[in-house]
Structure 1
Amino acid sequence: MLKKWILPLTALFVSLGASAAEPLRVSAIPDEVPTELQRKFAPLGDYLAEQTGRDVVFVPVNDYAAVVEALAAGKIDMAWLGGFTYVQAHRRADGVIPLVQRAEDAQFTSKFIANADSGIKTLADLKGKDFAFGSPSSTSGHLMPRHFLAEEGINPEQDFAHVAFSGAHDATVAWVASGKVPAGALNASVWDKLLEEGKVDTKKVKVIWTTPTYFDYNWTVRGGLDPALQAKLKQAFLNLDPKVPAQAEILKLQRASRFIETKPENYQGIEAAAVQAGLLK
């Protein structure tokens, strides 16, 4: 079932010309394993195809930077981005537009976790220890945890023994659970999902701190995408109804109670944090 949504990257470059017959090309930052991203997208892809009258294909990518470059170059039409990757895309190319976010993304958080045998119980206990972020371009797995550490007077490069990047939120949990690193930070929503699915042993991994809230994920479209299609896509997301069983399943897979409109101004705080952290110039 999932295979029909995968468009190999080699096929992505076959045609750069747009036509009415071309499918809507959708991608996402790889903040979880590829099979999970595709599982989450399949029913949403069916729904968007029905609502827009366009075929929809999912375009997997290897890293966060590839999503930004593909969106900026017009090689994908829409992408699921974190707040930081949206800021990068906005700076990289004119015209990218954030359409919608989950209601939950208006008050998102990150979790700091530690191996239960590490003796780490507070942020202060992290000093002198190895620590794992997710991807360097992750909002909830790197930028905002780093930002809030700075507010607590902690500089990872100076205060931690070693800083590592796992590449994805679920990988960070696996690293901490196995003892590869004693502590790390990740997306609170992924943490909750792993708990619900029984994929975290809470005897091995503990939450030691939850960050203050911030804006995070959104669905963003490329510059130049047909405004009528943009409007259809936005309305399709806004119309998702948890009272309709099939749509409730889509919302559940997206870990959304509902989708709401968003705007570039929501991500100014993310941009300021990235500049302050030296991740943007």
Structure 2
Amino acid sequence: MRHAILAVLASIALSFTAPATAQRDGSPKKPLRVLLIPADGGTEDGTKADFQPLFDAMSQSTGLHFEVHTGQSYAAVIESMCTGLAEIAWFGPMSYIEARERGCAELLAMEERDGSATYFAGLFVAADSGIETVSDLAGRDLALGSPHSASSFAYPLAMIADAGLDPIAEVGAIRLTGSHASSLMALRAGKVDAAGASFISYERAVNQGSLDPSRFRVLGKSRPIPNPPLAMHADLPEDLKAALRTAVSSVHETPGINPESIRGYGGKRVDRYVCDIDEGVLDSAARAVAFIDEDFKAALLQKASLQTD
């Protein structure tokens, strides 16, 4: 496979049509730029460390070269993809759909673990808070991550709405922290009564010693959410798209590649990356939180702006 992919690289540079992406072809001097949403705080030794082994393995097995960075925010990753500053991005389900609707992102792959390609969001509270049900969040303060995030924003809000609460009118102060980890740290510091984050981020915080699991508990768990997808720029040449699909979907079974290096969200080992994905599952996930339209988001952002400390 390595020789086959190397063979197409020579022709790829000549077949680019998008000026913004024309300078990157996956060669050693022109590596493909990979940008990751900052799901767990955005540190280079955090989210980047989760995915660097995957792209190192793909480079080893195919000859394609990658330059991996973590974006400063979900919005920054979307903008970078849509302005041609990245060829590959790791998105949340909602941020991928936003980039796709802008015409700049095409689905590449999704991680699969134990036969599942889904994960969960949660609402977390202090163990001694006295908050027993999601409806008890009436008048309570809440930390959420990025407005572009499915599991630290949209799905926690959906759980609150499903409990019969208006997140804008009936929840207390809203603190938008920008990431799962920051929301959990706001909960730990007592700045809020509850935090929305993915279970993967919660488990990571516990494993890293940032949260004492005896002091916190799960208030609510979301319906399944499609795993955050890897996407590629829509204007990449078709032969490079095919090479990327082959590389990521076969890396787990490539001789000489340590299976431990095939990792994904939260640094967890994954079984494989699948490319034959029905995008309908992502669209269905978006419909589940469709009540968060532009008017709703504007009102919630206005409410959050009143939180000054």
TM-score range (shorter-chain normalised) is 0.7 to 0.9
Alignment root-mean-square deviation, CA: 2.5
- How far apart, in 2, do the equivalents of 1:125 and 1:112 lie? 12
Asked if 1:226 corresponds to 2:205, the answer is no
Structure 2 equivalent of residue 169 of structure 1: 180
- Tell me the TM-score normalised to structure 2 length: 0.78
Letter in 1 for 2:143: A
Asked if 1:99 corresponds to 2:111, the answer is no
Query: 1:229: how far off?
Result: 2.2
Structure 2 equivalent of residue 6 of structure 1: none
Structure 2 equivalent of residue 18 of structure 1: 23
Asked if 1:268 corresponds to 2:283, the answer is yes
Q: Give 3-state SS (helix, strand or coil) of 1:58's partner.
A: strand
Query: 1:109: how far off?
Result: 1.0
- How far apart, in 2, do the equivalents of 1:19 and 1:132 lie? 39
- How far apart, in 2, do the equivalents of 1:190 and 1:255 lie? 15
Query: 1:47: how far off?
Result: 1.5
Letter in 2 for 1:18: Q
Structure 2 equivalent of residue 126 of structure 1: 137
Letter in 1 for 2:271: S
Letter in 1 for 2:36: A
Query: 1:256: how far off?
Result: 2.5
Aligned residues of 2:50 and 2:263 also touching (Cα < 8 A) = no
Distance 1:240 1:194, change over 3 A: farther
Query: 1:129: how far off?
Result: 0.5
Mark the runs of 5 or more structure 1 residues left unpaired by the alignment: 1-14
- How far apart, in 2, do the equivalents of 1:257 and 1:193 lie? 19
Task: Report sequence identity in percent.
Answer: 24
- How far apart, in 1, do the equivalents of 2:279 and 2:190 lie? 39
Structure 1 equivalent of residue 40 of structure 2: 32
- How far apart, in 2, do the equivalents of 1:108 and 1:151 lie? 19
Aligned residues: 267
Structure 2 equivalent of residue 209 of structure 1: 220
Q: Give 3-state SS (helix, strand or coil) of 2:156's partner.
A: helix
- How far apart, in 1, do the equivalents of 2:295 and 2:259 lie? 38
Query: 1:119: how far off?
Result: 1.6
Letter in 2 for 1:31: A
Asked if 1:278 corresponds to 2:285, the answer is no
Listed one character per residue, the Cα deviations across residues 115-172 of structure 1 (whole Å, up to 9, x for unaligned) are 2232212112111100111111111111122123222212211111111111111111
- How far apart, in 2, do the equivalents of 1:93 and 1:24 lie? 19
Mark the runs of 5 or more structure 2 residues left unpaired by the alignment: 1-19, 297-309
Aligned residues of 1:189 and 1:255 also touching (Cα < 8 A) = no
- How far apart, in 2, do the equivalents of 1:148 and 1:269 lie? 16
Counterpart mapping for 1:3-82 below 5 A: 17-18=22-23, 20=25, 21=27, 22-33=30-41, 34=43, 35-82=45-92
Moved more, 240-249 or 170-179: 240-249
- How far apart, in 2, do the equivalents of 1:118 and 1:207 lie? 12
